[in-house]
Amino acid sequence: MRGASARCRACLCLPMLCFVIVPAVATATKTVHAQRRALDAREQAFVAQATSDDAMQIALGKLAMTRSANPRLRALASRIVSDHAALNLQFAKLASSSGHAHGLSPQAISAMKAHLESLHGEAFDQAFTGMMVWEHRKVIAAYEVAAKTSADPTLRTIAMRGIPVLQGHLDAVRALMAQSSSAEQRQENE
């Protein structure tokens, strides 16, 4: 009898425990989400700029993967596409958790893409690498500011982790430009 009584009490306690624990967990979860601070206007502007840049780098990188005459540039373009897609995914998660949309500028992307689509071979490679240097220098500066000044720890982390990735792209593009330049000089000297 004693065993049956203990089992009966356990059977009654378990459902009652659920009535206490489930609401407590739900309240704690709501509190954590409520404590997530909204991004300020400066942070929102950075996220919009960074995601627009990611979208452009992805679009132009895909174009370079098919248009470039240089296999090294095509490989770099593939890396740029995958790295910027990963960065964009991090920003999308941040934007959805903070209740903000992250933006794209289709007009700017279309204009640059249209310009590159009109080029082939070496002319394409030169225009693409020039755009990549300019864009990466601009966005690295924005990432550095966000990494130093953002009050949002997630945004700061994304920015800090993104800087070496972007710097790697910039360094690789510059190295390709230097190789191309020295190859041209050798051809002129022959």
Please give the structure tokens belonging to residue 114: 């249209």
In this structure, are residues 155 and 94 in contact, taking their beta carbons and an 8 Å threshold?
Answer: yes
The reply to whether 100 and 23 lie within a common domain is no
Mean pLDDT of 138-159: 96
4 and 59 in a single domain? The answer is: no
- Give CA–CA dist 54/83, Å, rounded: 9
Percent of the chain clearing pLDDT 90 (strictly above): 54
Read off the CATH number of the domain in which 140 is found.
Answer: 1.20.1260.10
Q: If we measure between CA atoms, which residue out of 73, 47, 66, 172 comes closest to residue 113?
A: 66
Q: What is the pLDDT of residues 13-58, one digit of tens each?
A: 545 444 545 454 444 444 444 455 788 889 989 998 899 899 999 9
- Contact indicator for 44, 100 with CB cutoff of 8 Å: yes
19 and 54 fall within a common domain:
no
Distance CA 74, CA 79 (A): 9
The mean pLDDT of 110-125, rounded to a whole number, is 89
Number of domains in the chain: 2
pTM of the model: 0.74
Are residues 55 and 109 in contact, defined by beta-carbon separation less than 8 angstroms? yes
Which pLDDT value is given to residue 97? 72
